[in-house]
Amino acid sequence: MPDHITHDILAEIVEVAADAVICIDATQRITFFNAGAQAIFGYTRNEIIGQRIETLIPQRFRANHARQVEEFGRSGVKSRRMGERKEIAALRKGGQEFAAEAAISQVHHDDGSTIYAVVLRDISARKRFEQRESFLAEAGEKLAAAFGSTETLTQVARLAVPTIADGCILENRTGNGFHVGATAHVNAVVEALLDELSDAGLRSPPQGHPLIEILERRAAVLIQPNAAATLVEKSRVPSYRAAVRAMNPRAALFLPLVAREQLIGALCLFRANGTFDSEDLTFAEDLARLTALALDNARLHDTVRASLRARDEMVGVVSHDLRNPVAAVKMLSMSLLKEPAAQDPDAREKIDLVCQAADQMDALIRDLLDVNRLDAGRLAIAAHPVDPATLLLESLQTLRPLVEARGIDLDLQIETDLPKVMADPERIQQTLSNLVGNAIKFSPNGSKIAVVIRRDAEGVVISVVDNGKGIAPDQLPRVFDRYWQSSRTDRQGAGLGLAIAKGIVETHGGRIWIESKPGEGTTASFTLREADDQQSD
Ligand code: ADP
């Protein structure tokens, strides 16, 4: 030991160390207990000196501990960390267990006696912090996966109880009032009572109620230790008073839920026994922040979903109602063609244009109605065994004029001995027309398009290969989204063709996918299940 550090200085350092330093003799009785040990364990030196070390160890570990100290004594090893394989726990004066880290050393005196010295650190705060951090991380994941605002609130209530409170009420803010969005309690009977709170509807809390303070100051409100009495006194709604009486909280913590600078609700936590300390407050505030963010996201999702539903309903109604007038335009212009006045070439051309426009409108209305049917699961498929080559040839009939007008070389590569597939011919022809139609639309004049039909493990695969402009990799995942088009300048469609093709193929039990390289071309493929041998057409 360097000369300038005397035994007295060392003794003083040990005495003032924040860790507990405890010495025991060979019979495992306590002979030394520093100030750190007194602060951690809650015993005074006078109370504990002469007691067995077991006093500081939870009952279930005592026998094992005594044996381990003896073994350590015999081992001749100078010092060893305790609890290397699993965490150790120690016992405070009041009987409260806490997580600890410790090391033990042994010193042999010349007179043959042995002293064991234990240095122990209280790691309960660190453990609590770690547990809370991992709880918040897990909560974040669960909330991100929650669907809609009601489910989000239910998840939060379930997460809060019992981790941070015995009871939890989540309030949604509406104007100057609140209504209960979700509740949870450790006791099932009380939980059933809390369930009824959601029926209370919108409440405007009376002056002095913590929720009013939340509205006005947007800061946490803590009521303890007489939370039950205070809350009953400040509430007017009978079901709320009954719920508070049933929970009988000693402590209540109200936290504002703030998202994008708006107060959107309140997280209310209740503890029947015990109080909330500053650490609990920080934890609860973190949970409130997470909740506000998740709730805000969920509400935005709800709004988007509701608008999409409204759009689809509107599209369904309008397209249905447009069908008859468009059919009338088509029919009347066809009959106009037979009129003597239509023999004039100029008039004839104009009537032809009206007919074409009516055809385009009719196709668009059909697509819109199909998309709506897909949504409602009402796209009827009547599949039976059919020859895939015949299907292809029939669907190409209508596209031939377009192919020729664009000088496109259409190459059909049909494997021989193909099995029959299960298909609704009209729907699969519609799919093929969509895919070949896209290939034509996005290919330059005079280029080549191949349609390949082959058999593989999944069934029969039909691919439409073009050498057109291709699709950028970041846009590829969106091509099957409805109303999606890579560029809005091209109005030869409504971005529904691939969404409908996907719906049709998947309703057939098949798979559809697109591979593409910008500048090189696109391959759209889908599978169809083979028909069983027994099935006949
Ligand atoms: P639309 O009827 O408007 O063509 P689709 O759903 O059939 O709608 O296609 C959606 C979008 O996907 C198209 O607008 C286009 O941007 C892209 N796309 C589809 N097929 C091809 C292809 N063969 N080559 C390049 N882009 C394509």
CB within 8 A of 57, min separation 6: which ones?
A: 65, 89, 90, 91
3-state helix, strand, coil in the chain (%, to 5): 50, 25, 30
Q: pLDDT tier at 224 (50, 70, 90 boundaries)? A: very high
Helices (H), 49-187: 62-75, 124-145, 148-163
Ligand 1 atom nearest to 466, measured from its CA: 23
The three-class DSSP label of residue 478 is helix
Q: State how far the Cα of 269 lies from the Cα of 249, in Å rounded to an integer.
A: 9
Q: How far from 381 is each of 5, 415, 503, 529, CA to CA, in Å?
A: 92, 26, 11, 14
Averaged pLDDT for residues 280-300: 93
Q: In this model, does residue 1 exceed pLDDT 60?
A: no
Handedness of CA 389, 394, 399, 405 (dihedral sign): positive
Ligand 1 centre to CA of 492 (Å) is 10
Q: What is the predicted pLDDT for the residue at 32?
A: 95
- Token representation of residue 527: 């599978």
Q: State how far the Cα of 216 lies from the Cα of 266, in Å rounded to an integer.
A: 12
Tens digits of residue pLDDT in 341-355: 878 889 889 888 999
Backbone angles phi and psi of 244, in degrees to 5:
-65, -45
Q: pLDDT tier at 50 (50, 70, 90 boundaries)? A: very high
Ligand 1 atom nearest to 443, measured from its CA: 24
Q: In this model, does residue 220 exceed pLDDT 60?
A: yes
Take atom 3 of ligand 1 and give the residue whose Cα is closest: 495
Backbone angles phi and psi of 187, in degrees to 5:
-100, 125
User: Which residue matches tokens 């065994």?
Assistant: 385
Q: Are 524 and 514 in contact (CB under 8 A)?
A: yes
Ligand 1 centre to CA of 330 (Å) is 27
Handedness of CA 484, 485, 489, 494 (dihedral sign): negative
Report the residue among 451, 471, 475, 504 best suited for mutation to probe ligand 1: largest number of ligand atoms under 8 A from its CB: 471
The three-class DSSP label of residue 62 is helix
Backbone angles phi and psi of 469, in degrees to 5:
-75, -15
Q: State how far the Cα of 115 lies from the Cα of 397, in Å rounded to an integer.
A: 100
Burial class (CB in 10 A: 0-12, 13-18, 19+), 20: buried
Averaged pLDDT for residues 242-269: 95
Strand partners, 527: 461
Ligand 1 centre to CA of 479 (Å) is 7
Q: How far from 370 is each of 176, 195, 379, 499, CA to CA, in Å?
A: 45, 42, 7, 10
Q: State how far the Cα of 372 lies from the Cα of 364, in Å rounded to an integer.
A: 13
Q: pLDDT tier at 420 (50, 70, 90 boundaries)? A: very high
Three-class HEC string of 285-327:
HHHHHHHHHHHHHHHHHHHHHHHHHHHHHHHHHHHHHHHHHHH
Instruction: State CA 534 to chain mean position distance.
Output: 46
- Helices 188-195 and 238-247: angle between axes, nearest 10 degrees: 170
Three-class HEC string of 192-210:
HHHHHHHHHCCECCCCCCH
Helices (H), 338-410: 345-375, 388-405
Q: Which residues line ligand 1 (CB under 6 A)?
A: 434, 438-439, 442, 466, 468-471, 479, 484-486, 493-499, 522
Q: What is the predicted pLDDT for the residue at 49?
A: 96
Q: What is the predicted pLDDT for the residue at 533?
A: 63
Averaged pLDDT for residues 467-489: 84
Ligand 1 centre to CA of 483 (Å) is 10
Q: What is the predicted pLDDT for the residue at 381?
A: 86
Q: pLDDT tier at 526 (50, 70, 90 boundaries)? A: very high
Backbone angles phi and psi of 78, in degrees to 5:
-70, -45
Of 45-49, 221-225, 329-333, 490-494, the poorest mean pLDDT is in: 490-494
Ligand 1 centre to CA of 485 (Å) is 6
Q: What is the predicted pLDDT for the residue at 504?
A: 93
Averaged pLDDT for residues 306-318: 83
Q: What is the predicted pLDDT for the residue at 85?
A: 61
Give the N- to C-terminal CA distance of the chain in Å, as an integer: 100
- Token representation of residue 433: 């027309």
Higher pLDDT, 532 or 410: 410
* Overall pTM > 0.85: no
Higher pLDDT, 100 or 236: 100
Of 427-431, 476-480, 483-487, the poorest mean pLDDT is in: 483-487
Q: In this model, does residue 490 exceed pLDDT 60?
A: no
Averaged pLDDT for residues 52-65: 92
Q: pLDDT tier at 252 (50, 70, 90 boundaries)? A: very high
Q: State how far the Cα of 534 lies from the Cα of 393, in Å rounded to an integer.
A: 25
The three-class DSSP label of residue 276 is coil
Q: To the nearest whole percent, how much of the chain has pLDDT over 70?
A: 96
Ligand 1 centre to CA of 515 (Å) is 12
Range with the largest mean pLDDT of 77-86, 362-371, 449-458: 449-458
- Token representation of residue 412: 């059909």
Q: How far from 489 is each of 486, 493, 520, CA to CA, in Å?
A: 9, 11, 21
Of 392, 453, 451, 464, the C-alpha closest to 417 is: 453
Ligand 1 centre to CA of 445 (Å) is 17
Averaged pLDDT for residues 26-51: 95
Of 15-24, 84-93, 143-152, 486-495, the poorest mean pLDDT is in: 486-495
CB within 8 A of 239, min separation 6: which ones?
A: 196, 197, 199, 200
CB within 8 A of 71, min separation 6: which ones?
A: none
Take atom 14 of ligand 1 and give the residue whose Cα is closest: 485
